[in-house]
């Protein structure tokens, strides 16, 4: 039984007076409101090179979150990130780590930004999901389809809020383009054209000592043990970084850049994954230098609903080739930049990239939607959308399920250019038909000990 105690009137008056003296007449929202320290989302940043610091700057600008820890295997990256955080918060302290596992073990970290080299994306994301951390994962996802599938399973089991770094979904022009397609404003969809910058060729293959400020063994992680070469991890001494374009660490820009316009193609026409599709392609791969991923490609998807998708790479430091000559697409659409997605229907087309949206007929850009129209989720800021999803526990604008499908389009493109024969993909089973060699290439790569 609970005892009832009465507070004497004199004691009540004392408590009331003390409370009035202890609190200001107007309590700032930053103290007791949504942005109160106790309610801020605490973020740890893993991988704080140029891309990581760029995204981290968006987190630093959000009043309801706080970057509380940093991790990188590069001391120069950590030093730059520490300066950035201190400048934003006017603060002298921010913990740093060289081992991502130490950051993931912190109890004060609610969510993580992962912006490492590509070969580390899924291993660290898996560890983060198993530690119960929501995550913003830079694109692309994995070096294999099996990695993507494994991350999806672990995120779903742990109810992890996942945001993929395909920030074009948080741009009004890309959303409008996809809504035009989904609402039939182009008539019946016939074809999708997708293009992006291809990989670069070249890069030194001469072994040199790793930079003194880089933990190279930890940078390699699960990748094969190979000597350091100038520019592998950094832009340095007149050399540009080559890991972006080396298959030990990435698929190259067929995924690293390609996932952006391919994701928009999927966002505008998700029905492409409703039935068995075929994909075939050709690519040009450099035979010399540190870079060995495709410097040009032409890939064609044929979907079960009759829609086709053509995916090509634009020149990026390579000599012009017939394969990356875009005169035919310029004749169709007019001027194009080095990336974009275009949807063609029976009654018009829409082209969208980061600089523009153009339509035929032109008036389609003025379309306004009504209650009966398909309207996609709205986001004006990719990080803001992620934080709101963390609070609401509702999916972010590019959740794990859709991120995997966009990433699979990249893998299918890469495999088609390497195998150089038609492949049949079953989206329901997420495997090729009677094609053991192609299915073998979906599997995870062997990992270097101890990162298995």
Instruction: Copy the structure tokens of residue 2.
Output: 């609970």
| Range list of β-strands (E), 162-286 | 162-164, 189-197, 277-284
**For the chain, where do the domains classified as CATH 3.30.360.10 start and end?**
172-372+401-440
Residues of the chain within CATH 3.40.50.720 domain(s) are 29-168
CATH of 172-372+401-440, one of 3.40.50.720, 3.30.420.40, 3.30.360.10, 3.30.830.10: 3.30.360.10
Which value, to the nearest 10 degrees, does the dihedral of the CA atoms of residues 328, 333, 337, 343 take? Answer: -100
Q: Whole-model pTM? A: 0.91
Q: Taking residues 29-46, what's their average pLDDT?
A: 74
Distance, in Å, from the CA atom of 329 to the CA atom of 437, rounded to the nearest integer, reads 34
Q: Which of 396, 382, 378, 385 is nearest to 161 (CA)?
A: 396
Higher-pLDDT residue of 23 and 199 is 199
Q: What is the arithmetic mean of pLDDT over 224-248?
A: 94
Confidence of residue 56 (pLDDT cuts 50, 70, 90): very high
Render the burial of 288-303: b for 16+ CB within 10 Å, e for the rest: ebbbbbbbbbbbbbbb
More confident call, 37 vs 234:
234
pLDDT score, position 418: 97
**Statement: 29-168 belongs to CATH 3.30.450.40:** no
How far, in Å, CA of 170 to CA of 136, rounded?
14
Cβ atoms of 169 and 175 within 8 Å: the answer is yes
pLDDT (0 to 100) of residue 234: 92
The pLDDT value recorded for residue 34 is 59
CA dist., res. 291 & res. 294, Å (int):
9
Write the pLDDT tens digit of every residue in 136-163: 999 999 999 999 999 999 999 999 999 9
């Amino acid at each position: 039984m609970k005892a009832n105690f009465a507070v004497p009137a004199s004691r009540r008056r004392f408590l009331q007076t003390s409370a009035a003296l202890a609190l200001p007449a107007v309590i700032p929202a930053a103290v007791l409101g949504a942005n109160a320290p106790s309610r801020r989302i605490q973020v740890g940043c893993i991988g704080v090179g140029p891309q990581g610091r760029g995204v981290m700057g968006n987190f630093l600008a959000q009043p309801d979150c706080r970057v509380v820890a940093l991790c990188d295997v590069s001391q120069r990256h950590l030093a730059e990130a520490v300066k950035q955080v201190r400048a934003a918060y006017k603060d002298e302290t921010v913990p740093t780590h060289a081992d991502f596992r130490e950051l993931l073990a912190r109890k004060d970290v609610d969510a993580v930004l992962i912006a490492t080299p590509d070969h580390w994306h899924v291993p660290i994301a898996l560890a983060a999901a198993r530690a119960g951390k929501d995550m913003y994962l830079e694109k692309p996802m994995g070096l294999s389809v099996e990695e993507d599938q494994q991350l999806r399973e672990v995120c779903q089991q742990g109810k992890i809020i996942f945001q993929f770094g395909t920030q074009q979904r948080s741009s009004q022009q890309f959303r409008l383009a996809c809504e035009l397609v989904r609402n039939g404003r182009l008539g019946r969809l016939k074809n999708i054209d997708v293009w992006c910058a291809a990989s670069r060729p070249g890069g030194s293959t001469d072994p040199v000592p790793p930079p003194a400020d880089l933990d190279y063994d930890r940078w390699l992680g699960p990748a094969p043990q190979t000597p350091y070469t100038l520019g592998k991890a950094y832009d340095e001494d007149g050399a540009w970084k080559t890991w972006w374009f080396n298959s030990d660490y990435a698929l190259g820009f067929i995924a690293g850049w390609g996932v952006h316009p391919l994701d928009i193609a999927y966002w505008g026409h998700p029905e492409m994954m409703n039935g068995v599709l075929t994909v075939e392609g050709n690519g040009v791969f450099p035979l010399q230098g540190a870079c060995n991923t495709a410097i040009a490609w032409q890939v064609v998807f044929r979907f079960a609903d009759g829609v086709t998708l053509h995916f090509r790479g634009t020149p990026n430091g390579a000599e012009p080739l017939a394969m990356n000559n875009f005169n035919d697409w310029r004749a169709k659409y007019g001027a194009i930049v080095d990336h974009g997605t275009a949807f063609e229907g029976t009654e018009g087309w829409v082209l969208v990239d980061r600089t523009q949206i153009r339509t035929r007929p032109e008036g389609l850009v003025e379309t306004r939607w009504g209650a009966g129209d398909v309207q996609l989720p709205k986001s004006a800021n990719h990080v803001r959308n992620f934080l709101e999803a963390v609070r609401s526990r509702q999916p972010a604008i590019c959740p794990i399920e859709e991120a995997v499908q966009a990433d699979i389009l990249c893998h299918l493109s890469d495999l088609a250019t390497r195998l150089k024969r038609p492949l049949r993909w079953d989206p329901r089973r997420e495997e090729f038909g009677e094609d053991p060699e192609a299915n073998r290439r979906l599997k995870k790569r062997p990992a270097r000990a101890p990162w298995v």
